[in-house]
């Protein structure tokens, strides 16, 4: 709770002071108040989450659709010839706010930005170790539905969705 | 190799087929090129990057050949991001990473090198001292932001307006009024074209408008 109260972006969302370009019940997209480049857009859930792991699957899916639409709009409105979509997750990954957000960065030729990196080389053994470790953790990834049931049941608002073939409704239908 | 002349005579489907044939990542998906697969389902495939930024750097590929994000259908986008979330989680648990970057480059100016859409999932450590993904902040005036906001908002509304059946979280209060709008729209669509035209002409006639206004004067 205290985290929510100290969150700059929760304040902006509640006070509606942000330069909002899209808003619905669960999420909001706005121009970044301190942009990294021309037309820097941030897409956030309205509820306070700090890192991606806390965001429920269904909300992540919802956000991603908004991100996709806005990135299409950016191509036309800012005459961008490319976009970067970036989620910084954790202070050590460059996250500067404690509200989870997806960054959309419009790009042009020779805009002076650079997201290149120097790759490292690892030997076969190291790579195999990493592979095994990761694979173990990834074995349960396919189970999106199971995890989704609880938040959907708990959150009555979601049941108001119009009948439409989408991911959320499919899950709703499965609930006995 | 295909000559330029041949390329000019090709249908879009053939060109797409050619792109697939030349795409190394499509070969990885089909298994013709070996890779270290981490996760696979019917829509996506996650592999270890052979030129990693950090140990555990993963690429999440679509099985279908898409070049950039705007080409990808919504349901696959949603699936990609949900898997990306889980992969990021796996990085934290399996490799004791202290953070992750989820990065997408669309288009060559954004740093895209391969013609196959992919999401980079990069585990991060404090000790790696990378600054590539640190977004420096600039100060911009409110007015400048507002000028950007209006055309963008219009365009975004357009995009969402076209697909009216987007899975939004609809407010209950709006449901009744939404129904009304929908019924009205249906009526209008079922009307023959001529009648609709007639209606439009009427509305354009200034006399009619004034008489309309008089008729609809609010009652006291």
The pLDDT, as a whole number, for residue B163 is 41
Nearest to A24 among B102, B109, B168 (CB): B168
> Domain check: are A103 and A175 in the same one?
no
Interface of A with B in 104-133 (CB under 8 A): 105, 107-111, 114-122, 126-128, 130-131, 133
Which residues of chain A are within 8 Å of residue B53 when distances are taken between CB atoms? 117-120
Q: Among the ranges A9-18, A134-143, B75-84, which has the highest mean pLDDT value?
A: B75-84
Of A78, A108, A138, the one marking the end of a domain is A108
State whether residue B76 sits within 8 Å of chain A by CB. Answer: no
Question: Does residue A88 lie in a domain region?
Answer: yes
The domain boundary residue, chosen from A108, A142, A159: A108
Residues A159 and A131 in one domain: yes
CB of A151 less than 8 A from some CB of B: no
Q: Which domains does chain B have, with CATH numbers?
A: 10-128 (3.30.428.10), 142-215 (no CATH)
Distance from CA of A5 to the nearest CA of B (A): 23
pLDDT in tens, B169-206: 444 445 555 555 556 556 655 655 555 455 444 444 44
Instruction: Kindly state whether residue A41 falls inside one of the protein's structural domains.
Output: yes
Do residues A90 and A142 both lie within one domain?
A: no
Which range of residues forms the domain containing residue A32?
A: 1-108
**Together in a domain, A3 and A77:** yes
DSSP letter assigned to residue A16: T
- Strands of the sheet with B37-40, listed across from one edge: A19-23, A27-31, A41-45, A102-107, A82-89, B99-106, B118-124, B58-62, B44-48, B37-40
CA B193/CA B196 separation, integer angstroms: 5
Q: Label residue A172 exposed, middle or buried (CB < 10 Å: 0-12, 13-18, 19+).
A: middle
Residues A87, A4 within the same domain: yes
pTM: 0.73
How confident is the model at residue A153, as a pLDDT? 45
Q: Are A89 and A138 within one domain?
A: no
What is the rounded end-to-end Cα distance, in angstroms, of chain A? 34
Would an 8 Å CB–CB cutoff place A171 in contact with chain B? no
Residue A113 belongs to a domain: no
Q: Do A65 and A39 have their domain in common?
A: yes
In a domain, A7, yes or no: yes
Contacts of B135 in chain A (CB under 8 A): 36, 40, 86, 88, 94, 96, 103
Examine the domain organization and report whether A100 and A155 are in the same domain: no
Residue A117 located in a structural domain: no
Residues A128, A70: one domain?
Answer: no
Q: Which of residues 83-142 of B touch A (CB under 8 A)?
A: 83, 85-95, 98-112, 122, 124-126, 130-140
A43-72 confidence digits (pLDDT tens): 999 999 988 888 888 889 889 999 999 999
* Residue A57 and residue A1 in one domain: yes
A25 touches chain B (CB under 8 A): yes
Tally of domains within chain A: 2
Q: Is A73 on the interface with B (CB under 8 A)?
A: yes
> Using an 8 Å Cβ cutoff, are B116 and B61 in contact?
yes
Contacting residues of A for B87, CB less than 8 Å apart: 138, 141
A79 and A2 both lie in a single domain: yes
Give chain B's radius of gyration (CA, Å).
26
What's the CATH code of the domain at A53? Answer: 3.30.428.10
Candidates A137, A140, A164, partner chain B, best to mutate (most B CBs within 10 A): A137
Q: Is residue A169 domain-resident?
A: yes
What are the tens digits of pLDDT across the range A114-134? 888 888 888 888 889 889 888
**pLDDT number for residue A152:** 44
């Amino acid at each position: 709770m205290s985290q929510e109260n100290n969150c700059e972006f929760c304040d902006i969302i509640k006070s509606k002071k942000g330069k909002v370009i899209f808003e619905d019940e669960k999420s909001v997209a706005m121009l970044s108040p301190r942009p990294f480049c021309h037309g820097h857009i941030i897409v956030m859930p309205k509820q306070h989450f700090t890192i991606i792991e806390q965001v429920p699957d269904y909300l992540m899916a919802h956000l991603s659709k908004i991100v996709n639409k806005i990135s299409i709009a950016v191509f036309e409105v800012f005459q961008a010839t490319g976009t970067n979509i970036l989620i910084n997750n954790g202070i050590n990954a460059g996250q500067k706010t404690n509200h989870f957000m997806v960054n959309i960065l419009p790009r042009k030729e020779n805009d002076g930005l650079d997201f290149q990196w120097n790759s490292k080389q690892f030997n076969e053994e190291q790579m195999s170790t990493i592979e095994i470790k990761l694979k173990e953790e990834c074995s349960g990834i396919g189970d999106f539905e199971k995890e989704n049931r609880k938040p959907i049941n708990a959150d009555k608002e979601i049941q108001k969705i119009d009948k439409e073939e989408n991911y959320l409704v499919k899950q709703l239908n499965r609930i006995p | 190799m295909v000559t330029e002349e041949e390329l000019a005579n090709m249908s879009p489907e053939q060109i797409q087929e050619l792109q697939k044939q030349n795409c190394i990542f499509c070969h990885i998906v089909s298994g013709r090129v070996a890779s270290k697969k981490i996760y696979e389902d019917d829509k996506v495939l996650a592999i270890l990057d052979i030129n990693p930024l950090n140990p555990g750097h993963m690429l999440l590929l679509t099985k279908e050949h898409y070049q950039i994000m705007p080409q990808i259908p919504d349901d696959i986008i949603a699936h990609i991001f949900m898997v990306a979330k889980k992969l990021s989680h796996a990085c934290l648990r399996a490799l004791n990473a202290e953070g992750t970057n989820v990065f997408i480059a669309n288009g060559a100016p954004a740093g895209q090198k391969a013609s196959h859409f992919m999401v980079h999932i990069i585990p991060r450590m404090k000790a790696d001292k990378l600054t590539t993904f640190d977004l420096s902040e600039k100060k911009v005036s409110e007015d400048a932001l507002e000028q950007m906001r209006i055309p963008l908002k219009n365009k975004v509304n357009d995009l969402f307006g076209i697909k009216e059946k987007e899975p939004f979280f609809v407010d209950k209060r709006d449901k009744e009024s939404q129904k009304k709008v929908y019924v009205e729209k249906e009526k209008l669509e079922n009307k023959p074209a001529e009648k609709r035209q007639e209606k439009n002409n009427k509305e354009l006639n200034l006399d009619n408008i004034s008489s309309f206004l008089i008729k609809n004067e609010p009652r006291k």
